Amino acid sequence: MATGTPDRQTVTSDWLAVDAPAIDGVTFKEIRPVATSTGYLTEVFREEWGLDGLPVGQVFQRTLYPGGVSGWHAHGVTTDRLFCSVGSIRISLFDGRKASPTFGAVWHKIVGAIRPAIVIIPPGIWHGIASLGPETALVLNLVDKAYAYDAPDHWRLPLDTEQIPYKLV
């Protein structure tokens, strides 16, 4: 046999991902849809899950066409909670917080309607989202602080930035 590299473990025996978030403060929770005779019921967020201890200040949805990308951005004070209810997305994260123990780390999580999960992204973490698959993805964001129209807490880097060692596209 030709020499290659062996696969490493990616899931447990009950199909939970073994790749814990590599970025300090980032958490996620996989959620199991409940099958009913008329469809599925999927919870999105419960305070008692203890994911971040923050309030929900606003909920908005963001659609992404097939192949669409929401480019690198970060927030100064706002925590994002992302949940993809339709389609599938890859959330890519880069820790840009100089004082963080994981400063410079990159981590990715693929979530979507078939494997729902909510991903918590604290301030200071650069993130980008790529829509995977053939359908328009629908992403909910349950932020702790509502969007300020006159002064968005929204910082951006170009897609081809040299400051992040990963290319979204």
| 80 lies in the site for ligand T46, by CB under 6 A | yes
Stretch that binds ligand T46, among 25-33, 35-43, 106-114, 139-147 (CB under 6 A): 139-147
Task: CB nearer to ligand T46: give 129 or 164.
Answer: 129
Q: Which of residues 11-70 bind ligand T46 (CB under 6 A)?
A: 60, 62, 70
Task: CB nearer to ligand T46: give 66 or 101.
Answer: 66
| 73 lies in the site for ligand T46, by CB under 6 A | yes
One-letter amino acid of 24: D
Q: What angle do CA 48, 51, 57 make, to 5 degrees?
A: 85
Closest residue to ligand T46: CB criterion: 147
| 155 lies in the site for ligand T46, by CB under 6 A | no
Of 147, 157, 161, 168, the one binding ligand T46 by CB under 6 A:
147
**CA R_g for the chain:** 17
Residue 58, Cβ neighbours under 10 Å: how many?
13
Please tell me the chain's helix, strand, coil percentages from 3-state DSSP, rounded to the nearest 5.
0, 40, 55
Per the listing, tokens 């447990």 go with 12
Q: What angle do CA 65, 55, 50 make, to 5 degrees?
A: 90
Report the interface residues with ligand T46, using CB under 6 A: 60, 62, 70, 73, 80, 129, 139, 141, 147, 154
